[in-house]
A and B are shown apart, each in its own frame.
Chain A
Amino acid sequence: MTAAVPGAIASRSPALEARGIDKRFGPVHANRNISLVVRRGTIHGIIGENGAGKSTLMGILYGFHQPDSGEIRVDGQVQRFRSPQDALKAGIGMVHQHFMLVEPFTVVENVVLGAEDTFRIEGSLVRARAELEKLGRDYHLEVDVDATVADLTVGQRQRVEILKALYRGAQILILDEPTGVLTPQEADHLFRILRALKAEGKTVILITHKLREVLDVTDTVTVVRRGEVVAEVATATTTKESLAELMVGRKVLLRVDKTPAKPGEVVLDVAGLRVRDSAGVERVKGVSFQVRRGEIVGIAGVAGNGQSELLEALAGIRPVSGGTLRWKGVDITDDAGVRTAKGMRRLGLGHVPEDRQRMGLVAEFAASESAILGYHDDAPYNRNIILDRRIVSRECERQMAEYDVRPPNANLQTLAFSGGNQQKIIVAREVGHNPDVLLVGQPTRGVDIGAIEFIHKRLVALRDAGKGILLVSVELDEILSLSDRILVMFDGILVGELSPGQANERTVGLMMAGIRSEAA
């Protein structure tokens, strides 16, 4: 298709241009008159808080959503995408945050899937293999084309996704939060790939909320706030602070202010703990640590190294298969009455779960109902047999005021709130019931910067009130800035402990990849 366009015109017009994009979902005005110019051969960042309309805009660019008004031009030509296939035909390829791969298939089979062009599959496979090897060499995208996807690491799987898009002829690649699942080293490799793509004249659109990455790798940044473009700046001329301010619309504190911890007595004492996942695979392979009053213990690690199972086991949701668990000195490992979600909560263990949509809330419930999840049997909310909705609503409104949840409407369905506000509802609930130890999983995943700042402050305040906090996060920045002690988890074991002074991106990053600190 490039051959048909005279070179001079093609190079003068931008690779991708959006003009006056407007999109509503029911009452939500997701995109307001958005215009965007992405120059050929650049890496263009799109940043914005959660719920700012980034995902919608991206969905429109790759044909998943259709705009209510406005137009998209690719190489200066107006295009109307009815589906992602249309967008791909115009040269726009999408790399999703959650990979769309068939695990039992090999890399080459995955790449060919949906692009088979011969009656017998063998012909396509042979052609694809040759093409993939060339692409791999050109762009640092080395992957064993005959490996089964199930055996690949997350970083390798992402490369397969990129190869898939390139194999289909994508000239413009859109990546949605690509580093969320990567170690810092894997993220660096990804950025090398993106730079190589750029050098070959491909165009990359990077959607992210990580300001550091934007500054590292992009040429231009578009900032989206409340569905509108609020700024388009050359990356070289901007700073982290000014981007954060543009995103949120006010000054934000990127560092967490806290005093040194004053650890007290041990509340939670875990020794040799083993946990299996639902499929019976051992995911936590003997971990030992303690959580004291007045400290934040951070567990760093790439997602999927047993942190989720550990949290769920501690919270009483998942049984332990070995080891001991002590609460204020008492062995509760085999106490069936206590080792349930309800029992652990009664002991004084709060839990902000990793995945708020899946576990922390009931999306279809009114906010006031989600705000008592886990505490719905408690006396203050119940009069004899009746769950007193007036008290529940009033309590929720009080929490909403205290945590600045917007809109402050307790009767609104939970799903109508943005990610950050949903998370505030959960944190308010768990902190509000005054736990002795709070388990916190990914407290700021999909949460906007303003809310991150707020939630971090609350966690530090809880610590200062003499409570213990166990923090699990894949965001290294978050672990580094909040924790008083840092544990690193890899493949079900704790590979090391660091003090905040010793820990930095590199030391923790290597340990997260399973390389012990001695080796470094």
Chain B
Amino acid sequence: MSGSSAGGGAPPWVSNAVLPALNLAAALLVSAILIWLLGADPLAALKLLVAGAFGDSEAIGYTLYYATNFIFTGLAVAIAFHAGLFNIGAEGQAYIGGLGVGLLCLGLGGLPFILVLPLAILAAAAFGAGWAFIPAYLQAKRGSHIVITTIMFNFIASAVMTYLLVNVMIKPGQQSPETREFEPSAWLPFAHEILGYVGIEFGRSPLNLSFVWALICCVAFWVYVWHTRWGYRVRALGWNEHAAIYGGVAPARTVIVAMTISGALAGFVALNEIMGVQHRLLLNFTGGAGFVGIAVALMGRNHPIGIVLAAILFGALYQGGSEVSFEMPALTREMIVAIQGFIILMCGAFENLFRRRLVALLRPQPAAATG
């Protein structure tokens, strides 16, 4: 039907590159107006933001450290999207993934790093996947809507973790609800350590080995989704359930598989935060990364390359944003959150604001336009 194509019809380079850039520019413009209304200089703020995020190796390290989380959660949301599911529960899955990493590192942290690392990856994946499995099973077999259940599971995860940390896992003899520190053999090496070892000087930052794992996950994601028969099934189900059933894809099983992969990817946030930076399990270490992942997946068009770029953008906003609020008191931390909000709004809700016009603009004009 030609009627339904009114909003689409854009060549891939437009919808994958020009449109996101335009959306971003629009979000920055709105933010600039807001900053100007607050009596600050938007251009100076932008300069500070860029310098704060990319100015030196330390800044880049921080930006990439934040981006690591967003790559994991972005991939998590994206794989669910490919199956036609909206996983809002990456936050809770990441949080429970932390429980897995925490238990493992507390219990087996004394083992050599080379053993702890793969076990921790498995633990993060298993706990995150397990937490996603329950809503997936309920969706696949009982028809409970995954959006509702994954939201609820975020709250349950939060309550469970608070209970465990306050009552069970807390280090004896202290007030703050967190576990004891892991043995150093269960710490992921920092980027400045690794790079220093091979003779490259890199500023001190929380960036750690988990970033490499995030990139490996991106490649694995790309292979799985577009180059295996399992990814084929996931995409077939996500685009057209009837066609998938016709093609012999079992919807229930495919939903469960996609969601457990999603949960596992989300669980990897714990590698970065718990094993890489905090070296102990503590409350709310996910810091909203699961929700930012939704925006990252949307903006990244559910493709690993897009997700990495979007994750770096949001990482830069986190890192550069704190720099801005430090230097320009008028721009509080909340203001930075508002700018992120604009970007999400422009990329998500106003997706079609420019699309239609851009498509019209790119259309070849009739040679002899009449009056």
Binding site for B on A (CB under 8 A): 20, 22, 24-28, 30, 55-56, 59, 64-65, 68-69, 315, 317, 340-342, 345, 351, 353, 358-365, 369, 373-374, 376-377, 381-382, 385-387, 389
Contact = CB atoms under 8 A, between A and B. Distances in A.
B243 A358 contact: yes
Instruction: Kindly name the residue among B9, B229, B243 whose own CB sees the greatest number of chain A CB atoms within 10 A.
Output: B243
B326 interface: no
A22 B366 contact: yes
A389 B370 CA distance: 47
Contacts of A364: 239-240
Nearest to B231: A387
B170 to A, nearest CB: 44
Given A30-B2, A317-B246, A358-B243, A376 B9 contact: no
B19 to A, nearest CB: 14
B185 to A, nearest CB: 33
A387 B10 CA distance: 28
B2 A55 contact: yes
B219 to A, nearest CB: 13
Nearest to B5: A25
B3 interface: yes
Given A55-B1, A358-B243, A359-B246, 18 more contacts: A26-B359, A27-B9, A55-B2, A59-B2, A69-B369, A69-B370, A361-B243, A365-B235, A373-B236, A373-B246, A374-B246, A376-B229, A377-B229, A381-B229, A386-B227, A387-B227, A387-B231, A387-B232
A25 B229 CA distance: 34
A26 B8 contact: yes
A2 to B, nearest CB: 30
Interface of B: 1-3, 5-6, 8-10, 223, 226-229, 231-233, 235-236, 239-240, 242-248, 359, 363-364, 366, 369-370
B229 A387 contact: yes
29 contacts: A20-B370, A22-B366, A24-B363, A25-B9, A26-B9, A28-B5, A28-B9, A55-B1, A56-B2, A64-B3, A65-B2, A65-B3, A315-B246, A317-B245, A341-B246, A345-B248, A359-B242, A359-B243, A360-B243, A360-B246, A361-B243, A362-B243, A363-B240, A364-B240, A377-B248, A381-B229, A386-B228, A387-B227, A389-B227
Contacts of B359: 26
Task: Provide the main secondary structure of the chain B interface.
Answer: helix
Given A351-B246, A373-B243, A377-B229, A59 B9 contact: no
Contacts of A374: 246-248
A359 B1 CA distance: 16
B246 to A, nearest CB: 5
User: Which 7 pairs between the two chains have the least Cβ-Cβ distance?
Assistant: A26-B9, A342-B248, A374-B247, A373-B247, A341-B248, A359-B246, A359-B242
A358 B242 contact: yes
B248 A59 contact: no
Contacts of A68: 366
Contacts of B227: 386-387, 389
Contacts of A22: 366
Contacts of A358: 240, 242-243
A493 B119 CA distance: 61
A363 B5 CA distance: 13
Contact of A376 (B239, B247, B369): B247
Contacts of A362: 235-236, 239-240, 243-244
A22 B364 CA distance: 12
A376 B240 contact: no
A351 B246 CA distance: 9
A315 B5 CA distance: 32
Nearest to A26: B9
Contact of B228 (A69, A361, A373, A387): A387
Instruction: Kindly name the residue among B5, B227, B228, B248 whose own CB sees the greatest number of chain A CB atoms within 10 A.
Output: B248
Instruction: Kindly name the residue among B3, B5, B242, B246 whose own CB sees the greatest number of chain A CB atoms within 10 A.
Output: B246
Contact of A353 (B10, B229, B246): B246
A377 B248 CA distance: 10
Contacts of B5: 25-26, 28
A385 B228 contact: yes
B282 to A, nearest CB: 38
A369 B232 contact: yes
Instruction: Kindly name the residue among B2, B223, B231 whose own CB sees the greatest number of chain A CB atoms within 10 A.
Output: B2
A313 to B, nearest CB: 13
B291 to A, nearest CB: 27
B2 A365 contact: no
Given A59-B2, A341-B247, A363 B229 contact: no
Contacts of A69: 366, 369-370
A341 B228 contact: no
Contacts of B243: 358-362, 373
A169 B235 CA distance: 48
A285 B285 CA distance: 60
Contacts of B363: 24, 26
A342 B253 CA distance: 14
B3 A59 contact: yes
Nearest to A355: B242
A494 to B, nearest CB: 25
A68 B6 CA distance: 13
A358 B242 CA distance: 6
B248 to A, nearest CB: 3
B356 to A, nearest CB: 11
Contacts of B9: 25-28
Nearest to B364: A24
A28 B364 CA distance: 11
Contacts of A365: 235-236, 239
A394 to B, nearest CB: 16
A269 B14 CA distance: 54
B358 to A, nearest CB: 11
Nearest to B10: A26
A382 B3 CA distance: 38
Contacts of B370: 20, 69
B3 A363 contact: no
Nearest to A27: B9
B175 to A, nearest CB: 51
Nearest to A341: B248
A7 B226 CA distance: 66
A364 B227 CA distance: 16
A64 B217 CA distance: 46
Nearest to A375: B247
B251 to A, nearest CB: 11
Contacts of B233: 376
A376 B232 CA distance: 8
Nearest to A413: B12
A30 B3 CA distance: 11
